[in-house]
Amino acid sequence: MRLQNKNVVITGGASGIGLASVIRCLEEGANVVLSDLAGSEGAARAAELDGKHGGRCLFKACDVTDTAQVDRLFEETVNELGSVDAVFSNAGIGGVAPSHKVSDEEFLRIIDINLNGVFRVARAALRIMYGQGSGSIVNCASILGKFGQSNTAAYSAAKGGVVNLTRALALEAAPKGVRVNAIGPGYIDTPLIADLDKDLMNALIAMHPLGRLGRAEEVANGFLFLASDESSFVTGTTLMIDGGFTAGKS
């Protein structure tokens, strides 16, 4: 049990990579706060998992664009569980459109959720972890945090920001016993891309040298490693879980 009795907060936990990460953490003995938007399937998912895992999963609604909600998420977690040992800042949205057709509102919304939201979560978590003298924060970046792609200006900008934000936070947090890392998934077989047409899906598959899309559980395993003591000498890095997508790029 790699996370036995650890308390873990996962944002964007109602589906996809977030939900897979919730499940893996529960399997490894953690108490997990599954957080997602009010009105999402998060409450139902948490209730179901709570029943399967001996009362170790609870749901807390949180919109990461709202500082008050983020701060309350962590305050309530500490009040109820006593500590925050690991965080997966996973809440995010996609966005595909030619840049000349993207409005200010669309661009800023993607940045606010995918980058500013990651900062809000990290800030709230660090306040607690500094007091503890320990903790692990993992931010969800992307292959597009390392390399740009057409029609993804806002998303690529946000995820590139997450990669460098992770480095900066890691340097600040290291002297206080807290590690900060990121994960860079390739294209993952989740509901986010389930409706793509066959030709586009095949094109995405072809981008990955391993010849397939990733699975949400594979990304969750990366989070599990970075959250656990197995990665005790790892901070400031972005772990690419991308089927070789970035291996041939410089």
130 found inside a domain: yes
249 found inside a domain: no
Q: What average pLDDT does the segment 112-120 reach?
A: 98
What's the pLDDT at 169?
A: 98
- What is the 3-class SS of the chain, one letter each residue? CCCCCCEEEEECCCCHHHHHHHHHHHHCCCEEEEEECCCCCHHHHHHHHHHHCCCCEEEEECCCCCHHHHHHHHHHHHHHHCCCCEEEECCCCCCCCCHHHCCHHHHHHHHHHHHHHHHHHHHHHHHHHHHHCCEEEEEECCHHHCCCCCCCHHHHHHHHHHHHHHHHHHHHHHHHCEEEEEEEECCECCHHHCCCCHHHHHHHHHCCCCCCCECHHHHHHHHHHHHCHHHCCCCCCEEEECCCCCCCCC
66 found inside a domain: yes
Spot the catalytic one: 155, 187, 223, 245: 155
Q: How many domains does the chain have?
A: 1
Q: What average pLDDT does the segment 59-73 reach?
A: 98
Q: What average pLDDT does the segment 215-227 reach?
A: 98
197 found inside a domain: yes
Q: What is the CATH number of the domain that holds 92?
A: 3.40.50.720
Q: What average pLDDT does the segment 119-134 reach?
A: 98
Domain ranges, residue 147: 7-241
pLDDT, tens digit (0-9, with 9 covering 90-100), for 142-154 = 999 999 889 999 9
What's the pLDDT at 250?
A: 65
246 found inside a domain: no
What is the reported pTM? 0.96
63 found inside a domain: yes
In the chain, the percentage of residues whose pLDDT exceeds 70 is: 100
For residue 222, what pLDDT band results from cuts at 50, 70 and 90? very high
41 found inside a domain: yes
130 is catalytic: no
250 found inside a domain: no
What's the pLDDT at 77?
A: 98
